[in-house]
A and B are shown apart, each in its own frame.
Chain A
């Protein structure tokens, strides 16, 4: 935690920490406290008076079918994204790991979508699936499917899942590839000598050994889908049609900024905080465990 030899200076460490702490207090801690406080208040329509209502906002929130729908959407969205992007990334990583020649080149060609902003990723796929001008919508029409994410909630959900997964594959690919390359060759050779074919080797040796990476990525992907995908939704479906792609972070934003429901939005913020904190705890427990290996 700290060096054996430390410098002695009464004020310098505080001066060094000041910028970080100031920003943290002003833009992180204070607003979070405000959110906690506001979640216990109700403001009248004109914003003239506020009333302290304890947990009424939360009760309302969890009684609101719209909010529960949003919650469900978020869960479906997150796990779809995690599953789609992780399984594709694993497939690509296993294949790339098998190819001795070209693995580096493949890596370069696969990692760059990480750099694309979520909102931009959304727009790319939004365009490709556009019912009028999009190539994918055109191809689907050829297959007899009338794609329209402007009207069909299911189509819209698939669109945002694809966009979100596409962007995340590169990240998962990198970590899976690193995980695969960390597996000692001798283990795989031993399995081969024991007569296990490539397919069997994957399921009995490689996949179990990758499980720490897989679990870590699962948490990271869920966090990503929960919090970093606001741009994808906002730049494409705006939560529509009829709230079909409305996820939690989008609803906090729209209720707060468009609906101007201060207390409700704050209560939603608090719910989100609880989710982030639990996910962070899970992530850190996992790291502790990883250290033991």
Chain B
């Protein structure tokens, strides 16, 4: 900093560390709870250190599931979440890339109309059109299917704008050089534009994977068959068990598993994640 004030520096570190402790606390408690037998949690003396039931609890949820949540093994839910998250991510990136390419590199009637149509989706989050969207998906017979889980979510104005923005910064001469080199629209896209976009694609992948994995309301609506439950919504089924008290140790183990994939993605790909976050808000 500007001047040397050791006590202020120490204070800064302390405040940040305190912030981190408060941030991490819920995860620690959750992890601890997921390693104890249910009796330890229910008897009123809340444990602060991990117990000895780590393998047992995680094996139970992964393999057998929790009866209140339809007895679906969490392993299946994790798989469903993965399929949904990847379908949404890859789908969004793919259709946004080609749509942005069309808008930036082609001149055709109704170009701006198409652009605005895509823009409007920004203003229509699923939360504001729950019922009619559900009706459409039901009429198409897509309830309880991976297509129904992911397809209605893959139109993305944000991703299209991001790619459009990026394409506009690509020097015009590259396209011209490619034309002289005999590359048509498809070759130019595949050989030049796509490789140049890979950092943007990767950054967007991180953001969209988290978005897809964390979907809650939509899977809640379109899955009635337990075998299509995703993990994030599956937890809710466990906590809201009507007949009995929640089996907290298993709920917490499931919660840990639900958090793990997106958190790992963010921490491992931190640079790309920050880039993606900043760029999608432009």
A and B touching (Cβ–Cβ under 8 A): yes
A178: B residues at CB distance < 8 A: 278
**Binary B-proximity of A91-102 (CB < 8 A = 1, otherwise 0):** 110011011101
- Please report the total number of B residues contacting A with Cβ < 8 Å: 105
**Binary A-proximity of B114-148 (CB < 8 A = 1, otherwise 0):** 10011011111101111111011100000000000
Q: With both chains docked as a complex, state the minimum distance between the C-beta of A112 and any C-beta of chain B, in angstroms.
A: 5
B16's partner among A10, A106, A120, A269 (CB-CB below 8 A) is: A106
B105 at the interface (CB under 8 A from A): yes
A3's partner among B5, B172, B248 (CB-CB below 8 A) is: B172
Q: Are B19 and A92 in contact (CB under 8 A)?
A: yes
Judged by DSSP, the binding face of B is: helix
**Binary A-proximity of B27-45 (CB < 8 A = 1, otherwise 0):** 1011001000000011010
A27's partner among B96, B123, B133, B210 (CB-CB below 8 A) is: B133
Per the bound structure, the CA–CA distance linking A91 and B17 in Å amounts to 12
A111 at the interface (CB under 8 A from B): yes
* B-binding segment of A31-39, A49-57, A60-68: A31-39
A29: B residues at CB distance < 8 A: 117, 120, 124
B129: A residues at CB distance < 8 A: 28, 31-32, 34-35, 269, 273
- Please report the total number of A residues contacting B with Cβ < 8 Å: 103
**Binary A-proximity of B135-167 (CB < 8 A = 1, otherwise 0):** 111000000000000011111000010000001
A14 at the interface (CB under 8 A from B): yes
Q: Are A256 and B24 in contact (CB under 8 A)?
A: no
Per the bound structure, the CA–CA distance linking A119 and B20 in Å amounts to 21
Judged by DSSP, the binding face of A is: helix
Q: Are A6 and B1 in contact (CB under 8 A)?
A: no
A-B contact pairs, 18 of them (CB 8 A): A27-B151, A27-B153, A31-B133, A35-B128, A95-B12, A98-B8, A110-B19, A111-B266, A116-B259, A120-B232, A127-B30, A128-B25, A170-B23, A231-B214, A234-B216, A236-B239, A252-B127, A257-B130
Binding site for B on A (CB under 8 A): 1-10, 12-14, 16-17, 19-21, 23-32, 34-35, 38, 88, 91-92, 95-96, 98-100, 102, 106-121, 123-128, 130, 132-135, 138, 166, 169-171, 174-175, 178, 188-189, 192, 198, 216, 220, 227, 230-231, 234-236, 238, 249, 252-253, 256-257, 262, 265-266, 269, 272-273, 276-277, 280, 287
